[in-house]
Amino acid sequence: MKRVRFLLVMFLVFGWFSLFAQIPLKESLKSISLESLKTPVGIVLNDNSFFVGDLSSVKIYEVDKENGKILNSFDPPCFNLTSFCFDGKKFYILDGIEKKVFIYDEETGITLSTLVLDLDSPQSIGFDGKNIWIADGATQTISQIDSSDGTTFKSITSPVFKSGRRGELTSITFKDGYLWVSERMRDEIYEMDVDTGWVINILKAPGPYTSGITFFKDDLVCVDYQKKVIQFMKLPEIGKPLRYNPRKESLTFGEKYRNFGPGSVEELNVNLALPEKLIFQDIDSKIEIYPSNYKIEEDEWGQKCAVFSFKNLKPFDTAEANVKVNCTLYSVSYFLDPKLALDVKEIPDGLKNYLKDDTKLQINDPVIQEGVKEALKGETNSYKIVRKIYDYIQDKMHYELSGGWNVAPVVLKRGSGSCSEYSFVMIAMLRAAGIPARYAGSVVIRGDDASRDDVFHRWVEAYIPPFGWIPIDPSGGDSDVPSEKAKCFGSLENRFLITTLSGGNSKFLKWDYNSLSSYTSKGQVTLRFLKAGDWVPLENAKSER
């Protein structure tokens, strides 16, 4: 049932399933040819060289890390060389067909012991400095294994876990206490926290078939089975937003009205939020606002609006208010490290307005307060507070369009809500936990570049020091798949023009976003309206790094 709900969320919000951004790695720092290997798989570092396996010859080769020259080779004690790792003295060589790990001393050529695995489909093996970990394709888990007898200490869910479908986790390595794993079918590399099972960062693999990963100093080193190369890749800078995949579009957004009478509309007021340049978007031309009966106002959150007033609309009179903007939209991702996030007590004083209670929040309500206690259990790390609240909301709620925008305690207790209601709950819980929070409202490209949006979308921004404001979409990321959940935490796809950034109830938009209207009438009136944004694609843009 959760899977069905998630698919519904993706369809309503994004137009189709799983079109999120991967963080692209920068250009290869260095590339080493492995043409002498027919089917390279696996890689481990050994001082000044690498060990790389070859499926066809069933050998493990020692190659020079500078030029790829083969220095040595040995025959592993198995026939099916699936994956391997190295603890500095011993090799742990996985045979996925026999479901065994051979602990092998390369210097003496002696197999020290053999572990028989209680796993259905072991795919890859890694070493964390103390224990080995094995990914199992059948159960879609990554398990810490006792190297003395092969039993399982603990397991975390595969980052691509999905009922009824297997992922192919081709390699495992560790750095700074985090597990890194490559996945072949999605061409992604995941950084995971083994204590929580969180996918923290998702990188786009540098080649078509990443069959091995390791680290040399701070550089990610990848072996590609298809290209037969070793690539040295620089990781993104921690905490800095990376924007990519530019998309040039023209958007006309507005509201149109017709009075079907029989009375008259005395005054119709329409307030349109005006988008501004952000890390997620460039405004490429002067914003066109029409007709001319408007003035520019700014609310208490710094949100600018075009404020229109139409008077004395007789039966069958029409009125409309529009904003046209040419823009470049970007996919944006933050490469984050939870260990570097500051304590919640170190939130800057200048953000106190984003900690206040408000009508939709009710942060002192027992439902919100108890929810925060249950979710956090005394946590003080600002990243972990936000991530635990994100998980808690998704565990307690499912997506449902059920009408109005209820206040956060009602929504959380009910256990279902729209994107706006998810946002109300998350903002309420974050503020109750001492984390500044606000919302972003947008007009969305629905599938095709030329399309209409009359549904729109809202999500949350949380302030995580020292990283700053981080985009988080609690409804869009409500999935059982860890990687899909992670793609809505710290990333935004290039399908959204943000019109509204607000901390709550405002003078011109109330708790709405994109636009808000009101009217007074004389006699009975039937006032029909349309609120929509129409997208037209502009020329292709070059990628920005």
pLDDT of 403: 65
C-alpha dihedral sign at 400, 404, 408, 413? negative
When mean pLDDT is compared across 18-27, 126-135, 369-378, the lowest value belongs to: 18-27
26-235 and 243-331+509-537, same CATH topology: no
Q: Is 127 exposed, middle or buried (0-12, 13-18, 19+ CB in 10 A)?
A: buried
Q: Give pLDDT tens digits for 181-207.
A: 999 999 999 999 999 999 999 999 999
DSSP assignment string, 262-306: EEEEEEEEEEEE----BTTEEE-SPPEEESS-EEEEE-TTS-EEE
Q: How far apart, in whole angstroms, are the C-alpha atoms of residue 416 and residue 422?
A: 8
Phi, psi of 394 (to 5 degrees): -70, -30
pLDDT of 234: 93
What is the average pLDDT across 526-540? 91
147: confidence class by pLDDT, cuts 50, 70, 90? confident
| CATH class assigned to 26-235 | mainly beta
* pTM, to two decimals: 0.92
**For the packed helices 382-396 and 419-432, what is the interaxial angle rounded to 10 degrees?**
140
543: confidence class by pLDDT, cuts 50, 70, 90? very low
The residue extents of the domains of the chain are 26-235, 243-331+509-537, 334-502
Q: What percent of the chain has pLDDT over 90?
A: 87
Q: Give pLDDT tens digits for 1-47.
A: 443 444 444 444 444 333 445 677 766 688 999 999 999 999 999 98
- What is the chain's mean pLDDT, rounded? 92
Q: Give pLDDT tens digits for 53-90.
A: 999 999 999 999 999 899 999 999 999 999 999 999 99
CATH no., domain 243-331+509-537: 2.60.40
Q: Give pLDDT tens digits for 88-117.
A: 999 999 999 999 999 999 999 999 999 999
The three-point CA angle 284-288-294 to 5° equals 140
Residue 321, pLDDT > 80, answer yes
136: confidence class by pLDDT, cuts 50, 70, 90? very high
- The arrangement of secondary structure in 334-502, i.e. its CATH architecture, is Roll (3.10)
Higher pLDDT, 467 or 23: 467
Phi, psi of 177 (to 5 degrees): 85, -5
Residues 515/521/524/530 CA torsion (nearest 10 deg): -20
